[in-house]
Structure 1
Amino acid sequence: MKRWFFIFFIPGIVSSFSGFKGDDEPVFENIPSVKPQMFDKASENWADSVIATLSLDEKIGQLLMVCAHPERNQKHWEEVAEQVYKYKVGGIIFFKSGPIRLANMSNFLQLNAKIPLLMSIDGEWGLSMRMDSTMRFPLQMQLGALKNNELIYEMGKAIGRQMNRLGIQINFAPVLDVNNNPLNPVINMRAFGDNKKMVAEKAIEYMRGLQEMHILAVGKHFPGHGDTKTDSHHDLPFIGFSKNRLDSLELYPFKQLIRKGIGGIMVAHLDIPALDPVKNRPASLSPKVITDLLKTKMGFRGLVFTDALNMKGVTKYFKPGEASLKALLAGNDILLYPEDVPMSIRYIREAVEDSIICVSEIDEHVRKILQVKYWTGLNKCQYVDTTNLLKDLFSAQDELINRKLNEESLTLVRNENNIIPLKRLDTLKIAVVAIGDSVQSVFQNFLSLYAPMTMFNVSKDFNNSEYLKLKDTLKNYNLIIVSLKQTNRYSFRTFNFPDRGLDLIKELADSNNLLLNLFASPYSLSKFPYYKKIKAILIGCDDTKLPQEFAAQLLFGGISAKGHLSVNISHDFPFGFGIETDEPIRLKYSVPEEINIERIKLNKIDSIVNDAIKQKAMPGCQILVAKKGVVFYNKSFGNYIYETENKVNNNSLYDLASLTKTLSTTLVLMYLHDVNKFDYNKELSYYLKSTIGSNKENLLISDILTHQAKLQPFIPFYKNLITDNKRDLYFSKLPLNKNSIQVADSIFVNNSIKDTIFKRMFNSKLLTEKEYKYSDIGFYFIQDIVENITNNKLDILSDNIFYKRIGSVTMCFNPLKKFTKTQIAPTENDKEFRKQLVWGFVHDPGAALIGGVAGHAGLFSNANDVAKICQMLLWNGTYGDDKFIEHSTVKDFTSCYNCPKNRRALAFDKPEPAQNKESPVVKRASLKTFGHQGFTGTCYWVDPEEDLVYIFLSNRVYPDAENNKLNTLAIRNKVLDIVYDAIENSK
């Protein structure tokens, strides 16, 4: 079910005209003065005590904030240091760098400062706006798509924490410009959007978060840079709007943040005749704009910053020194990035001497600056400790906030016939075309977690022959997912989209089910006038990792769509429009903190597993843990074998061994039970007439499923086939006919061997006592039952009824029919039966002899596909909005059937309820837990009380199945114990 939302009524009109006044009405009414929190009595007293010790030149120096480029050479560092110790500048604005180098330069400069320096940065989307190796938060226009403004407040705090850690006190953010010009060359995606109220609301939360962490928030670019065609870095933009328009629109966010106590405002280099008729005088140098409007009428009492005084918007008309003096006379407190520090000081000193400005005015500016220093803790010298700095800048807490911002800002603007989230995956043949990605992208990687699909990566400049070939190939698919990236954020006419890529999208829209994912500006929707031919359009705003990761999850229903357009695009795509989708229907992939688990609590898993590998309990493994439908741990360890480095990855397939019983055979039984074709209370002979007259005739199927049917635990069928005089009789290096069964590389057996095996089973003796005795034998019979009822093979049934529908990518029998050996972990170096390393063939000899598809063994998979089945069972038989099994059937089959005598459920294993008996799973698992273990070193457990899925896959039988260290060291349960510890600590 889709929900259509509009945040504001008639958004286009609100965006342009809300609050408009007639020309004869007053504008710029006085706003009640609000003193920001940093300007209190304690800070004032400290500031005055410092001012009393300063010379005039030192006071003037405090007004200047100079630039520093940490990545430059030592000469630059020394030049900046000279400005600090010789001219006593008050602060630094940092540009391109990395955290360690910036910290070192900051410490170096603070050592040279008489009064600690205010360190600042343009950090609109966090430190990463100016620094590598730091956390990248979303652009403000992406934040504009959020419904939940509390997340922006949390982001402000996160950025504040990171700036505190790096010794930065000022963030030149948030951007308060209302971007009502889609072609704005400098603001655009840096703005929250084109609706003044939304801009103000979100900016307030950003400001609150920063200032709660004692980082001075500086709103910019006063009085509004959102409707310009010129970049003030390169020229002086002309703003020709009336006072009424400016008052009702551009100034609105500034008014609101002033009322809420923002500590700083940056004034832009804009030529605005309605505010100051002096030609070519930028607002940043205008007393009418700063003193009369910002300070007097709007009541701002915080720090006023110029925009950088080296920008062409100033330097085109004013010389160095002159610009600094005019900026000070206009009412600015801090002169940012003056081109010439000594000349600036000289101009201002001479102005004092000539009584153009008085010392008391200088003191007032300095007092405010010092008060901010006091508030940020700079009444004492601060240095940055670089120990663990990079680690500290990527805290789990901040990462979770960043993930939520990216997740909830994704905006679904088209969803024909509710195609999103995708359903009935068995009906889809999916192709994914990543335009502009020469290698598989994050988006593609996460898509592949949900379903099989074919990936196509095309460069931005792919040629015509490649174009035609791809177009022809894509005809073979009934669903095409296209990702398109805007690689140049400031290309607002073409969005830097390749023409051939746009042509391909248009053609695909004409003839295919097309889902378009735009990792680009929402304005890029204008490039698709034929959008009604596209089945779904999702906007991710940015091509960074997290939007791609969550976009993939949204398409498949791992997460819900919640975002709304932050700008007005057209009549059909107005501001505030967004299609919301219902609750998640498939697994979500996230981090432990999402479910309140600290990842540090899971670090012991690495220690235990790596030690187990070192002790040769297994060469490698996969571990997946999910809680509340969220996969929060999915990690691979080690190699396929000990001798070479062929690393296990999350896509590697393992031989699941006896997990086959519950992940294939029993699932089909449950399905047949639902359609009234199977009853586990019947006797074996009811379904298998061939057992009539044998000692198996009256065995209850429920007893077989719970391993109390007195069947032999194991029959080594292969042993009487491999004697010297029989091996050549049964086995050959080449297939004898089309029905030959391959049991390993270059080893084939005649299909008639199946009859021999079943004859031995039928003739096998029963045990004397009816008690729990684990046996594979019964599941040969269960397989026969399934195949007789359906007149179909177990592998085909499992695939059609479950695996295809659930989106399995790897789960299958006989994996070498679909995968190469490099994708599969080998099992035993079989020195008795097959006399080779078993690789890609089922390890279990009996299953191998009947063709690799058996009721008890033969299934291969990675952990992720096992998790889908487990989650389906945990969700009472439903997954992907598809009903696989009835809730009552899941409950029947996964509940203890003969407690307390026998812990087993119907095929599923269970915890041992008796405290004095050994349990297959940790004792703290609830009694509702169900799962299974496999001989090759595999297991899964589902605990409904904890809403928990745990999967462990390994090939512990390499190179020798006699190696039982995985069990004696209790590795699987030790790992699960750590998971339960982490859950317990989270409560």
Structure 2
Amino acid sequence: MRNKIILSTILLFIILFSSLTTSAVSQEQEFDIFNFLKLGGDFLMNSKIAEMSLEEKVGQLFQIGFSGPQVDSKIKDMIENYHIGGVIYFSRNIENPAQTAELSNQLQELAVNSGAKLPLFISADQEGGTVTRLKGATHFPGNMALGAANNKEFAYLAGEAVGDELKNLGINVNLAPDLDVNNNPDNPVIGVRSFGEDPKLVAELGTSYIKGLQSKGVIATAKHFPGHGDTAVDSHLDLPVIRHSRSRLEEVELYPFKKAIEAGVDSIMTAHIYFPTIEKEKGIPATLSKAVLTDLLREELNFKGLIITDCMEMNAIVNTFGTVEGAVKTIEAGSDTVLVSHSYQKQKKAINAVIKAVKNGRISEERINQSLKRILSLKGKRISLAELKEADENKINFAAHQKIAREIAENAVTVVKNEGVLPLKNIESKKISVIDFEMGRVSLAEDDDKKRNLFFKYLQEELNKVENITLQEGQTITVNNNKIIDSDLVIVCTYNAAVNRDQARIAEKLAAKYDVLVLALRNPYDYKYLNQTQAFITTYDYSPASQKAAVDLIKGEISARGKLPISIK
């Protein structure tokens, strides 16, 4: 009887895999192979792996980026002939929700009808705040705004809403949340992408976000392990080094990742940072370190999920081992998915280098199978064939999500300094001048030309006497400028005065004659460079909801509820 059951299972397994034909995405009824694999356990998983070629196996370990909003010959080649396991979307790939959903559907149709006939991981960095990719999606306040609001329910709701939008656009992996503990005010790449400087706060809000995101069937990715918060170097540009003791790393950097693992996070992204306390060989980034990825993350912290690299074309890798050799070394170290975001030629060379490394015995095929099994298991857990058919933006309740974003922003906006400026009484009769900076106008992920100064737009809609001056990089302003003369309040919108010091200098100069309120629309650490200005508020990012919350605060319609999750004084 037992043998008959096993035989029947094998036959069903064969039928299921042979049924993945051209009709897999178009038919109304189709077996959900990956759910079947999940239920079938190791026996069926191993059977699938055994039927795959080495090239198909290695290809599944790569996630790549491509140019443009449509399927082109290069991405088609990578799917059909290099058998890639996933793609990553950037703003270059996205025009609007309908186009994004259609692109996802087309890519998945290619994948399930090619090679090993496996669906793709489709990922994006949809962190919120200063890092968003999706045009037309809800632009949520970022992590530090959530840290300022300090409400784990908000974090869950944000993750849940983002997950809903991603899933319905055909994106099954969010490369978020950022679990770095930002305790270095000079950190050039993390900053407001972190929930704050308290490891417990980062852990609490991060795990809530993860649970919300994964409740919608989207893979959460905790990053950047073992921690990128205490660096003064951007790993996009060079190799940072963190020299803290192991006890300090345990208490700060590693703590949120431990909690994320306990909470069941699906995936963890590596950091291109050298940790000499953990990795004894000089200059080896965590991404290429067996001591970090296998000994620490896999064995000591008992992480069973997917390990994905940060992009292997960042200079911290390019300037040390190079993208191609780095791809081989990171798999040796324990990574499951290798992210190569840009160069078509490097993507092909990296895949071929790993295939060669297996053939010459440098990497065992069993090592490839270990990662492949984790990849297939996670695809089985989070992807179903039914979902591959109908990515559809019309299923998204954008209005409900925007309401959540507004509530978060209103609870995040923070008054850091107020010397008799707020609340601004009789505001309707006041003359207000708003100064912003062209140099600080960064992509807001949607309709950039319309959103370059939403704060002024929102203020102008409700008040009569509002002037706006936009300064170019290096341009200054006199205290007797016609637009600001006789102003009751001058609002200077800084974006990153820590880098663009002219923004702080202009605010300080004007404060000698006027009441000046600095609105930090990106970096709360701007406060460190201001002494004379009369008031300072921060929204932690320039999302539309955050800019509207700043207007409502200045008008006195909401109170300041946010509290700094970092030290800036």
- Give the TM-score category using the shorter length: 0.7 to 0.9
Q: Does the alignment pair 1:95 with 2:95?
A: no
Mapping for residues 543-562 of structure 1, pairs under 5 Å: 543-562=542-561
2:294 pairs, out of 267, 291, 299, with 291
* Number of corresponding residues: 511
2:493 pairs, out of 460, 467, 485, with 485
Displacement of 1:432 after TM fit? Answer: 0.9
Displacement of 1:286 after TM fit? Answer: 0.6
The equivalent residue for 2:274 is 271
Displacement of 1:394 after TM fit? Answer: 6.0
When the two structures are superposed, what TM-score results if normalisation uses the length of structure 2? 0.82
Q: Is the 8 A contact 1:167 1:383 kept in 2?
A: no
Q: Is the 8 A contact 2:433 2:483 kept in 1?
A: no
Q: Is the 8 A contact 2:527 2:536 kept in 1?
A: no
Q: Deviation string for 1:405-437 (max 9, x for gaps)?
A: 1111111223456x64445x39x8522110027
The equivalent residue for 1:171 is 174
Q: Is the 8 A contact 2:504 2:526 kept in 1?
A: no
Displacement of 1:501 after TM fit? Answer: 4.0
Displacement of 1:546 after TM fit? Answer: 2.3
The equivalent residue for 2:479 is 467
The equivalent residue for 1:435 is 435
The equivalent residue for 1:566 is 565
**Cα distance, 1:555–1:258 mapped onto 2, change above 3 Å:** same
- SS of residue paired to 1:112: helix
**Cα distance, 1:44–1:504 mapped onto 2, change above 3 Å:** farther
- SS of residue paired to 1:362: helix
The equivalent residue for 2:19 is none
Q: Is the 8 A contact 1:141 1:193 kept in 2?
A: yes
**Cα distance, 1:383–1:484 mapped onto 2, change above 3 Å:** farther
Mapping for residues 64-75 of structure 1, pairs under 5 Å: 64-71=62-69
Displacement of 1:444 after TM fit? Answer: 4.8
The equivalent residue for 1:538 is 537
Mapping for residues 30-69 of structure 1, pairs under 5 Å: 41-42=39-40, 47-69=45-67
Q: Does the alignment pair 1:253 with 2:251?
A: no
Displacement of 1:58 after TM fit? Answer: 1.0
Q: Deviation string for 1:744-768 (max 9, x for gaps)?
A: xxxxxxxxxxxxxxxxxxxxxxxxx
Mapping for residues 718-757 of structure 1, pairs under 5 Å: none
CA distance in 1, matches of 2:374, 2:263: 18
Q: Deviation string for 1:786-843 (max 9, x for gaps)?
A: xxxxxxxxxxxxxxxxxxxxxxxxxxxxxxxxxxxxxxxxxxxxxxxxxxxxxxxxxx
Q: Deviation string for 1:908-944 (max 9, x for gaps)?
A: xxxxxxxxxxxxxxxxxxxxxxxxxxxxxxxxxxxxx
The equivalent residue for 2:8 is none
Larger radius of gyration: 1
CA distance in 2, matches of 1:177, 1:148: 18
Q: Is the 8 A contact 2:494 2:518 kept in 1?
A: no
- SS of residue paired to 1:436: strand
- SS of residue paired to 1:553: helix
Q: Deviation string for 1:225-284 (max 9, x for gaps)?
A: 111122111211122222222222111111111111111110111122111121222110
The equivalent residue for 1:214 is 217
CA distance in 2, matches of 1:551, 1:67: 36
- 1:435 corresponds to which letter in structure 2? I
- 2:526 corresponds to which letter in structure 1? S
- SS of residue paired to 2:55: helix
Q: Does the alignment pair 1:344 with 2:350?
A: yes
Displacement of 1:158 after TM fit? Answer: 0.6
- 2:219 corresponds to which letter in structure 1? L
- 1:460 corresponds to which letter in structure 2? L
Q: Which has the higher contact order (CA 8 A, sep 6+)?
A: 2
Displacement of 1:122 after TM fit? Answer: 1.1
The equivalent residue for 2:380 is 374
Q: Deviation string for 1:623-647 (max 9, x for gaps)?
A: xxxxxxxxxxxxxxxxxxxxxxxxx
The equivalent residue for 2:78 is 83
Displacement of 1:318 after TM fit? Answer: 1.8
CA distance in 1, matches of 2:63, 2:255: 28
- SS of residue paired to 1:129: coil
Fraction of identical pairs, as percent = 32
When the two structures are superposed, what TM-score results if normalisation uses the length of structure 1? 0.48
Q: Deviation string for 1:679-715 (max 9, x for gaps)?
A: xxxxxxxxxxxxxxxxxxxxxxxxxxxxxxxxxxxxx
Mapping for residues 354-393 of structure 1, pairs under 5 Å: 354-378=360-384, 382-385=388-391, 389=393
Displacement of 1:483 after TM fit? Answer: 2.5
**Cα distance, 1:46–1:412 mapped onto 2, change above 3 Å:** farther
- 2:551 corresponds to which letter in structure 1? A
- SS of residue paired to 1:52: helix
**Cα distance, 1:196–1:132 mapped onto 2, change above 3 Å:** same
CA distance in 2, matches of 1:524, 1:148: 25
The equivalent residue for 2:11 is none
The equivalent residue for 2:522 is 520
1:458 pairs, out of 462, 469, 478, with 469
The equivalent residue for 2:23 is none
Gaps in structure 2 of 5+ consecutive residues: 1-34, 112-116, 439-449
- SS of residue paired to 1:497: helix
2:325 pairs, out of 305, 319, 322, with 322
CA distance in 1, matches of 2:130, 2:170: 12
CA distance in 2, matches of 1:163, 1:124: 12
**Cα distance, 1:230–1:127 mapped onto 2, change above 3 Å:** closer
The equivalent residue for 1:786 is none
Q: Is the 8 A contact 2:127 2:177 kept in 1?
A: yes
- 2:470 corresponds to which letter in structure 1? S
Gaps in structure 1 of 5+ consecutive residues: 1-36, 571-987
Q: Is the 8 A contact 2:492 2:517 kept in 1?
A: no
More helix by share: 2
**Cα distance, 1:366–1:441 mapped onto 2, change above 3 Å:** closer
CA distance in 2, matches of 1:500, 1:247: 42
Q: Deviation string for 1:13-54 (max 9, x for gaps)?
A: xxxxxxxxxxxxxxxxxxxxxxxx999655656644532331
**Cα distance, 1:543–1:431 mapped onto 2, change above 3 Å:** farther
CA distance in 1, matches of 2:125, 2:202: 19
CA distance in 2, matches of 1:194, 1:284: 24
**Cα distance, 1:346–1:455 mapped onto 2, change above 3 Å:** closer
Displacement of 1:457 after TM fit? Answer: 1.6
CA distance in 2, matches of 1:192, 1:568: 13
CA distance in 2, matches of 1:325, 1:85: 22
Q: Deviation string for 1:547-566 (max 9, x for gaps)?
A: 23222222333222210002
- Please, which moves more after superposition, 120-129 or 170-179? 120-129
CA distance in 2, matches of 1:196, 1:253: 6
1:109 pairs, out of 107, 110, 121, with 107
- SS of residue paired to 2:433: strand
**Cα distance, 1:515–1:109 mapped onto 2, change above 3 Å:** closer
CA distance in 2, matches of 1:496, 1:209: 40
CA distance in 1, matches of 2:139, 2:505: 29
CA distance in 1, matches of 2:263, 2:502: 39
CA distance in 2, matches of 1:140, 1:344: 33
1:401 pairs, out of 400, 404, 407, with 404
Displacement of 1:506 after TM fit? Answer: 3.9
Displacement of 1:285 after TM fit? Answer: 0.7
Q: Is the 8 A contact 2:61 2:336 kept in 1?
A: yes
**Cα distance, 1:364–1:149 mapped onto 2, change above 3 Å:** same
- Please, which moves more after superposition, 263-272 or 428-437? 428-437
